[in-house]
């Protein structure tokens, strides 16, 4: 009888040791963004580049002067392309240099190029990540974020926000990689 009890105890300990960690345990640590997908942002950059590359090409000099204030469209396109490249590089910097650090005490540190902010985090009963932080007006903002992927090294979050009338939503998919210490 004692032998059976010992085997049962050892078996219970073995199962407890092999238990897969839950989402709360898996998300702990520091994650660096590697990619942000947002339909509106991506379309803005695509359409802006197309506009720059084609602007004024089908107009004569008089029309370009009336519309753009210049007749040398190649120089204008070149200058706008420099500005575009700078804006795109700044966006890519944000996309790949932001960090989320999830602490065991429920505090999250949002790191963005040039600044960091703290908030609170939790995983709700639906398996969503709940984030809470203070906005620039000192008001608490709460957001529920869908967790599309969570593994030892990868985290993918889906941020969805209502654009006002309830019929349109803005969705961003942010992919993270765990930072190694």
- Report the percent of the chain where pLDDT is more than 70: 86
Angstrom distance (rounded) from CA 79 to CA 141: 40
| Assigned domain for 86 exists | yes
pLDDT for residue 1 is more than 70: no
Q: Give 32-52 pLDDT, tens digit per residue.
A: 999 999 888 889 999 999 999
| Assigned domain for 109 exists | yes
Q: Give 120-161 pLDDT, tens digit per residue.
A: 999 999 999 999 988 788 888 899 999 999 999 999 999 987
Q: Looking at residue 14, what is its pLDDT?
A: 42
Question: Can you tell me which residue has the tokens 């993918």?
Answer: 156
Q: Is the dihedral of CA 10, 11, 16, 17 positive or negative?
A: positive
| Assigned domain for 154 exists | yes
- The two tokens of residue 150 are 């969570």
| Assigned domain for 152 exists | yes
- Is residue 80 within 8 A of residue 73, CB to CB? The reply is no
What is the number of domains present in the chain? 1
- The two tokens of residue 80 are 């706008």
pLDDT for residue 180 is more than 50: yes
| Assigned domain for 16 exists | no
| Assigned domain for 63 exists | yes
How many residues can be counted in the chain?
A: 181
Domain span holding position 94: 24-178
Residue 59 DSSP SS3: coil
| Assigned domain for 58 exists | yes
| Assigned domain for 101 exists | yes
In this structure, what DSSP letter does residue 19 have?
P
pLDDT class of 7 with cuts at 50, 70, 90: very low
Q: Give 160-177 pLDDT, tens digit per residue.
A: 877 776 666 788 999 999
The CATH number of whichever domain residue 154 belongs to comes to 2.40.128
Q: List b or e across 129-167, with b for residues whose CB sees 16 or more CB atoms inside 10 angstroms.
A: bebebeeeeeeeeeeebebeebeeeebbbbbeeeeeeee
pLDDT for residue 4 is more than 60: no
């Amino acid at each position: 009888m004692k032998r059976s009890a010992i085997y049962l105890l050892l078996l219970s300990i073995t199962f407890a040791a092999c238990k897969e960690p839950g989402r709360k345990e898996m998300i702990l640590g520091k994650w660096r963004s590697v990619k942000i997908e947002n339909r509106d942002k991506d379309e803005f950059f695509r359409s802006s580049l197309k506009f720059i590359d084609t602007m004024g090409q089908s107009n004569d000099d008089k029309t370009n002067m009336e519309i753009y204030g210049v007749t040398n469209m190649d120089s204008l396109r070149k200058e706008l392309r420099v500005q575009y490249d700078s804006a795109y590089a700044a966006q890519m910097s944000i996309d790949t240099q932001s960090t989320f650090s999830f602490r065991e005490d429920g505090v999250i540190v949002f790191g963005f190029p040039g600044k960091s902010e703290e908030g609170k985090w939790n995983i709700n009963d639906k398996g969503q990540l709940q984030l809470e932080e203070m906005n620039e007006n000192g008001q608490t903002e709460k957001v529920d974020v869908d967790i599309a992927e969570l593994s030892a090294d990868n985290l993918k979050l889906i941020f969805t926000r209502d654009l006002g009338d309830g019929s349109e939503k803005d969705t961003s998919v942010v992919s993270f990689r765990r930072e190694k210490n």
